[in-house]
Structure 1
């Protein structure tokens, strides 16, 4: 009985180790960006939003909605399928020829979700470029019909690209400093 328990414990610990190792490898893939360093980090530290060793949003970011705790929210996300969360038809898109945009014009082009092209101060800033794939891995999700209108070759010359999730405002704020 004890020998079987030791074997089971060894298997469980090995599986936990493999999951931790896989997580470390995956979160360090280029698709997930990287931490700032060098001159970029120094510029960020001069931001008025840099306090106590981290970047603080000017407005509070609500991470949970409703009265669910983290476990309840995760359970609901995985197992409760809400109706009408995906469009029934193609997402309407007005595709602009980005190569013909005047560079000195101030504008924002929204590509969907958190992907934007900003033109400010004669610079083009591409934030969180997600064009024809909805997730870092093909098996993790697919884009809605119609939302895959833009591809990398549609982009004009870009001075700054920020691959950040949930930090688009951070990217723009640090650029404007």
Structure 2
């Protein structure tokens, strides 16, 4: 009996410590939010659709995801990379560096940006789950220079990672997020004066730079409760460039709406991965990604949300191969860099390899 009590006490203490970790902080959103897509304490999508369309039980879906056999869903060999030394970049060079999944570093007109950085050994509330593919997690906080603007599209674990944010804290000058997401940063010790939250179609302006917070068709939540904070995308507009970071989003009319409001883009970073017939409205298939690119009128497409984590049942290389196939004879340029490879924003004839094909 004493041994059981000791074990039970240890479990309770560990559980209390675990649940009180900073990463599990609850968001704080004022009840006075003035938004036409905020109701009774929850945000909602531009078009309300079910997150899950499958009739299969949640327990059954989880079991199938964890224990099911998905052919080539995890690479058999390390993901190749070409690590750019961010500390040695020419400050005048306009550059984007993909860090795998949805994490990006960008240097644009002498401003530095970091979008949805996740450098941890897992992107999940459960330790040792949702771990990065071997070879895909090549950057650490020590590799990152001073960041003028940290942009977070939404609060899911594969986009908002506490250990990464905490390690970068002293390098970040400004934080821009959709409504509610900034409250995590305040609880994590960031000065409230450097945190800028906004609703869809709001904007943050500084000097010759404007960061627009735009819509997305997705959801939010880090544990059991969903949609307490807003999700979104970003349009970064300077005197010479227009770059769009789509975050996570299903396909919808908001892409055309964004282009109608802001005009066409030089580069659109669009999600292309983790799609599934069970959740068709919150992630895009490669074919829908192509349609979104057309709606945005972008000159170049950079596929995102792939090649680092297994969050669905498709082969890990399928998103890149499918978008490559469907992008033939399109008006935009498809960019498929290696993780860590530098993209010259102003070099419109820069070419990239079909690096994933060697694993097919």
User: How far apart in 2 are the matches of 1:19 and 1:143?
Assistant: 30
User: How far apart in 2 are the matches of 1:47 and 1:167?
Assistant: 26
Q: Which has the higher strand share?
A: 2
User: How far apart in 2 are the matches of 1:108 and 1:51?
Assistant: 37
Partner of 2:21: 29
Contact 2:37 2:43 in 1 (8 A): yes
Partner of 1:110: 98
With over 3 angstroms needed to count, the CA separation of the structure-2 counterparts of 1:138 and 1:72, relative to structure 1, is: closer
Matched, 1:155 2:144: yes
User: How far apart in 2 are the matches of 1:141 and 1:164?
Assistant: 16
Please identify the structure whose Cα radius of gyration is greater.
1
Partner of 1:164: 155
Partner of 1:92: 80
Gaps of 5+ in 2: 161-175, 180-197, 199-203, 205-211, 214-360
Q: CA RMSD in A?
A: 4.5
User: How far apart in 1 are the matches of 2:54 and 2:128?
Assistant: 30
CA deviations 1:54-78 (Å, max 9, x no partner) are 3334365764364422121012123
User: How far apart in 2 are the matches of 1:108 and 1:62?
Assistant: 34
With over 3 angstroms needed to count, the CA separation of the structure-2 counterparts of 1:34 and 1:75, relative to structure 1, is: same
Listed as ranges, the matches of 1:34-73 within 5 Å are 34-36=26-28, 45=33, 49-58=37-46, 63-64=51-52, 66-73=54-61
Q: 1:124 aligns with which of 93, 113, 128?
A: 113
Q: Which has the higher helix share?
A: 1
- Compute the TM-score of the two structures, normalised by the length of structure 2: 0.33
- Compute the TM-score of the two structures, normalised by the length of structure 1: 0.58
Q: How many residues align?
A: 157
Gaps of 5+ in 1: 1-6
User: How far apart in 1 are the matches of 2:42 and 2:71?
Assistant: 38
